[in-house]
């Protein structure tokens, strides 16, 4: 999830664990704990694109990291807060839950979280987008209200718990129910249109849980469709040819295989101005409307340098964001 959401979650968890003893400092250190796992994003400054992708949401998002480093950070805080009666074990417990809940929340998004590192399995329930105001804003409001109450008061505890409960209900009940409902709509549409498919995966579109998209694999292409719970017209599936043959001999090269593994096989290959592009379909396109010419959210130009295949991520522009947001609102309201 985005940094603000993880800060809010970490602060609320910190308050629940230690707020009665240390007040707002529990929220402060909980917020810090909620940001630490995402320090793996700085790997991009030290390594190549493919390795950076593999590292993100790896070790720092694992149970192993939470167990090993919570005591370390707990000890550091106990030294900083040496005047407090709170023990090293108390601070360690706060940090553990800050780390662990960060990873649990991330596992509900599309990217994939290596919770059980060093095992390669990545959890990706795909029931919430990485930025979802319906999750974050109510949570933030209750956290601020709780922060303004007296330390250890019953009202403070209830407000903080209410934020945790409402956000959890949205994450664990409402969005999975919407995912199941829309999944059935997609499969029913495929059956009605007599489309034989191999597999299908669904995910929410940016910033909401009303509009959902589906990736559908057929023999020589992937179909992408969108469905809003307010739709009245049939779902339109747009074909994106796999074009895997464009890789040629590169398909057997190590770094290309790594990209294929990262995408879990959901990828297309395109050619533009003589360059080869690897498009990761897991995150769909930059358009909330199914279009054959839509740019993919994650696309990488493949180049060969010194006998090695390297991936260069296609940069996004402000224009891409403006186009997405301009179309998103009306598409959410139905076709």
DSSP states along 36-94: GGGGGGGGGGTS-HHHHHHHTTSGGGSHHHHHHHHHHHHHHHHHHTTTSS--HHHHHHH
Residue 236: helix, strand or coil by DSSP? coil
Say what the pLDDT of residue 325 is: 86
CA separation for the pair 294, 284 (Å, rounded): 9
> Residues 107, 62, 111, 52: what is their CA dihedral angle, to the nearest 10 degrees?
170
Rg (CA), the chain: 22
| Residue numbers in the chain where pLDDT is lower than 70 | none
- Looking at residue 326, its pLDDT comes to 86
- Tens of pLDDT along 129-165? 999 999 999 999 999 999 999 999 999 999 999 999 9
Instruction: Please tell me the predicted confidence (pLDDT) of residue 21.
Output: 94
What pLDDT was estimated at residue 316?
82
């Amino acid at each position: 999830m985005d940094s603000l959401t993880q800060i809010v979650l970490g602060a609320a968890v910190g308050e629940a664990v230690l707020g009665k003893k240390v007040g707002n400092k529990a929220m402060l250190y909980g917020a810090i704990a909620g940001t630490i796992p995402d320090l793996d994003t700085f790997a991009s400054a030290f390594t190549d694109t493919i390795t950076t992708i593999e590292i993100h949401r790896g070790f720092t998002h694992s149970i192993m990291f939470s167990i090993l480093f919570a005591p370390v950070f707990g000890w550091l805080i106990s030294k900083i807060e040496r005047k407090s009666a709170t023990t090293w074990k108390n601070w360690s417990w706060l940090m553990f839950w800050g780390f662990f809940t960060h990873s649990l929340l991330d596992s509900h998004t599309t990217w994939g979280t290596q919770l059980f590192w060093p095992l390669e399995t990545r959890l990706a329930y795909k029931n919430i987008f990485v930025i979802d105001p319906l999750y974050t804003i109510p949570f933030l409001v209750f956290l601020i209200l709780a922060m303004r109450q007296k330390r250890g008061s019953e009202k403070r505890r209830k407000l903080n718990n209410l934020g945790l409960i409402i956000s959890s209900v949205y994450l664990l009940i409402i969005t999975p129910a919407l995912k199941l409902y829309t999944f059935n709509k997609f499969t029913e549409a495929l059956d009605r249109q007599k489309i034989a498919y191999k597999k299908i995966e669904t995910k929410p579109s940016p910033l909401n849980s009303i509009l959902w998209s589906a990736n559908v694999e057929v023999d020589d292409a992937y179909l992408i469709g969108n469905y809003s719970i307010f739709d009245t017209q049939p779902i339109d599936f747009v074909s994106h040819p796999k074009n895997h043959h464009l890789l040629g001999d590169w398909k057997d090269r190590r770094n290309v295989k790594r990209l294929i593994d990262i995408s879990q096989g959901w990828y297309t290959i395109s050619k533009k101005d003589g360059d080869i592009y690897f498009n990761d379909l897991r995150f769909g396109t930059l358009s909330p409307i199914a279009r054959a010419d839509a740019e993919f959210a994650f696309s990488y130009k493949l180049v060969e340098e010194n006998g090695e295949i390297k991936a260069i991520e296609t940069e996004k522009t402000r224009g891409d964001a403006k186009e997405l947001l301009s179309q998103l609102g009306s598409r959410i309201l139905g076709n």
